[in-house]
Amino acid sequence: MKMIIGGAYQGKVGCATKLFGIDEEAMTNGSTCDFDEIFTAVCIKSYHKAIARFVAQGVDPIAFTKRLCEENEDVVVIMDEIGCGIVPIVKAERVKREATGRCGCMIAENSDTVVRVICGIPVYLKGTPDAD
Amino acid sequence: MITLVTGGTKCGKSSYAERVLESFGGTKYYVATMNPVGDDAQEIIARHTEMRRGKNYITIECLRDIGDLDIPEGCGVLIECIGNLCANEMFGSGEVNEAVLKITEGIRALSERTAELVIVTNEVGSDGNDYSPDTMQYINEMASINRCIAEFADNVVECVYGLAVAYKGKAIC
């Protein structure tokens, strides 16, 4: 399992193509996909959006992500870092943000490689470029 | 040399940018992009003016059209900052304009005639809120500008509570 994180629009999808050879057309979009697709996806982009949809639709995001880690060991997960800034006033927003943090920790723990992208530049937080 | 300095708010970007230019022996320009309207702006301008006192910068205000700057060849230039410049370009005319190409091409052109160019920008895309479409477009365009400048910059540095972390090239201490 591999993970690419970073703020919005930092160039995460481009890094997935450059580093891991996955074209954007081959990626499953967490904003719109059927949830079941995630378990067989080669790469999921905007997984934080999928988590938001789990929360909105009453699917347990932690259990879902645990199953993802168990069943799709070779997947590349791309997700935004969304935990900075002020804790939201609206409870649903807080729940979503916390779920994203917990799921992100689980994915990072299960990944051999974690890359953080800033200004389009990949930084390896876990693993090394040679290992890819 | 071209250096892009990024980071969150009040993380020491300006101080770092000035340190990069400290040893530069030639003429130095400070390009101020902030719209000087409002109490906050006045406070920030006063603080930054104080920081630069005695450091021999020629200050030029440039709220937009960065490519039209009239700066002679071979100078040291500090641009502060892309966040304001982008907001001025996008929202300054009453309607929302695209700013990426204009700003990146302007800075690229400027970089071709400067000896030392330091660009201060901002990270605005990591707080996870869904803002209005105009604000989301601003976040998107800021990130595009940063990615584009990072490509042709020699150094890309993030400041974290005053510490400089280099992602490309190197950071000075």
Give tens-digit pLDDT for A59-91: 999 999 999 999 999 999 999 998 887 778 888
CATH number of the domain that residue A40 is part of: 3.40.50.300
CB contacts of B139 in chain A (<8 Å) are 8-9
CB contacts of A104 in chain B (<8 Å) are none
Range of the domain at A32: 2-126
DSSP state of A94: H
Instruction: Give the mean pLDDT of chain A.
Output: 94
CA dist B83 and B34 (Å) reads: 9
Interface test with B, best of A93, A119, A121, A123 (most B CBs within 10 A): A119
Please give the span between the terminal C-alpha atoms of chain B, in angstroms, as a whole number: 16
Which phi-psi region, left, alpha or beta, contains residue B54 (left: φ > 0; alpha: ψ -120 to 50)? Answer: left
Contact B121, B82 (CB under 8 A): yes
- In-domain check, residue A79: yes
pLDDT value of residue B117: 98
Token duo for residue B168: 């490309």
Strands B57-61 and A76-80 come out as unpaired
Look at residue A131 and tell me whether its pLDDT is greater than 70: no
Residues 6+ positions from B50 with CB-CB distance below 8 Å: none
Cis peptide bond N-terminal to B173, omega within 30:
no
- In-domain check, residue A37: yes
Q: Which residue type does A20 have?
A: F
- In-domain check, residue A83: yes
Q: Which domains does chain B have, with CATH numbers?
A: 2-168 (3.40.50.300)
- In-domain check, residue A35: yes
Q: Give ∠ CA B105-B106-B112 in degrees, rounded to 5.
A: 90
CB contacts of B4 in chain A (<8 Å) are 119
User: Residue B157 belongs to what H/E stretch?
Assistant: strand B155-160
CB contacts of A88 in chain B (<8 Å) are 129
- What are the φ and ψ backbone dihedral angles of A65, each rounded to 5 degrees? -70, -35
Give the nearest partner residue to A8 out of B4, B139, B149, using CB atoms: B139
- In-domain check, residue A20: yes
Q: Catalytic: B48?
A: yes
Summarised one tens digit per residue, pLDDT across range B68-118 is 999 999 999 999 999 999 999 999 988 999 999 999 999 999 999 999 999
User: Residue A43 belongs to what H/E stretch?
Assistant: strand A43-45
Contact B123 A118 (CB under 8 A): yes
- In-domain check, residue A22: yes
- In-domain check, residue A15: yes
DSSP H helical ranges for B92-131: 100-111
Please give the span between the terminal C-alpha atoms of chain A, in angstroms, as a whole number: 11
Q: CB contact, 8 Å: B9 with chain A?
A: no
- In-domain check, residue A132: no
Q: pLDDT grade, residue A132 (50/70/90)?
A: low
Q: Which residue of B has its CA nearest to A97?
A: B128
Distances from the Cα of A127 to the Cαs of A51, B29, B96, B144, in angstroms?
25, 42, 42, 27
Give the nearest partner residue to B147 out of A11, A48, A84, using CB atoms: A11
Count of domains forming chain A: 1
Q: Which residue of A has its CA nearest to B149?
A: A119
Sign, CA torsion A41/A44/A49/A54 = positive
Residues 6+ positions from B84 with CB-CB distance below 8 Å: B33, B34, B35, B63
Contact B126 A81 (CB under 8 A): yes
Q: pLDDT grade, residue B11 (50/70/90)?
A: confident
CA dist B75 and B148 (Å) reads: 23
Question: A40 to chain B, minimum CA–CA distance in Å?
Answer: 27
- B9 forms bridges with which residues in the sheet? none
Summarised one tens digit per residue, pLDDT across range B25-71 is 999 999 999 988 888 888 888 888 888 888 889 999 999 999 999 99
